[in-house]
Structure 1
Amino acid sequence: MSDIETITVSDEGFACVNQVGDFEFTVDATDEEGPNPNAALVATYASCFLPAFRVGGQQHGHDDLGKIQIDASADLDEDDDLASIHFAIHVAADLDDETFDEIVERAKDICHVHAALRDGLAAEVDVYGDAF
């Protein structure tokens, strides 16, 4: 058994309903019924990086960073693939740039999505016909 198992279903069109444990959400390539996959990936990345940033702060002796907000943006290439991602992190705590840089580096080490976004990581694919 795998560590993570999800079910993604599309009865028609380009919207997919995803089941992850007890949670369900829609991702839609057309942005009609939910965010598109690239937007969902950027949001997931930010959702992983933010708590990693908070833990990085704690590990550097800053237990109360207060409110943290990540404004994430991404650029697409000519094939609509992600070309770049940028995080603008807004933190209630007033720390110096060097401390924030240390926290960011630690967050990069902690964030699992950051680790997954590397060359060579792609799904292995098996297809089973006449399944329904």
Structure 2
Amino acid sequence: MSDIETITVSEEGYACTNQVGDFDLQIDATDETGPNPNAALVATYASCFLPAFRVGGSQRGEDDLGKIQIDASAGLDDHDDLTDIAFDIHVEADLDDEAVADIVERAEGICHVHTALREGLHADVSVYPGAF
């Protein structure tokens, strides 16, 4: 038995309904009824990295990071393949450079999406402490 099972269905066109556990997720290659697969991947990556960043902070004694926001961006080549991903992470807590570097390194080791992506496509991470 697999650890993760999903069902993806398309009745017509390029839109898909994905059943992920008890949740339905619309993904549409044309961006008409949901985000396209590349956008969904970038959002999923950021959604994995943010809690990993919190855990990384907690592991080093930074238990109250406050509000965290990731502004993710990605580039595409002429074939609509992802070429790069960048995360601008805004953190309410006022962290020094050493803390930021350590938390990012820990988050990269914790985030399962980060681990799954090819090395050349890992997010270029910038953190802005004291942002809120």
Normalization by structure 1: what TM-score?
Answer: 0.89
Q: CA RMSD in A?
A: 0.7
Q: Percent identity?
A: 77
Structure 1 counterpart of 2:73: 73
The 5-angstrom pairing of residues 19-98 of structure 1 reads: 19-98=19-98
The separation in 2 between residues aligned to 1:77 and 1:98, in whole angstroms, is 35
The structure that is strand-richer by fraction is 2
Q: Considering only CA atoms, is the larger Rg found in Structure 1 or Structure 2? A: 1
- SS of the residue 1:90 aligns to: strand
Equivalent residue for 1:129?
none
Count of matched residue pairs: 119
- Structure 2, unaligned stretches of length 5 or more? 120-132
Runs of 4+ in 1 over 6 A off after TM superposition: none
More relative contact order in 1 or in 2 (CA 8 Å, sep 6+)? 2
Q: Write the mapping of 1:108-123 to structure 2, written as runs, cut at 5 A.
A: 108-118=108-118
Q: How far apart are the structure 2 equivalents of 1:97 and 1:42?
A: 25
Q: Could you list the runs of 5+ residues in structure 1 that have no partner in the other structure?
A: 120-132
Secondary structure of 1:79's counterpart equals: coil
Which residues in structure 2 correspond to 1:100-111 (within 5 Å)?
100-111=100-111
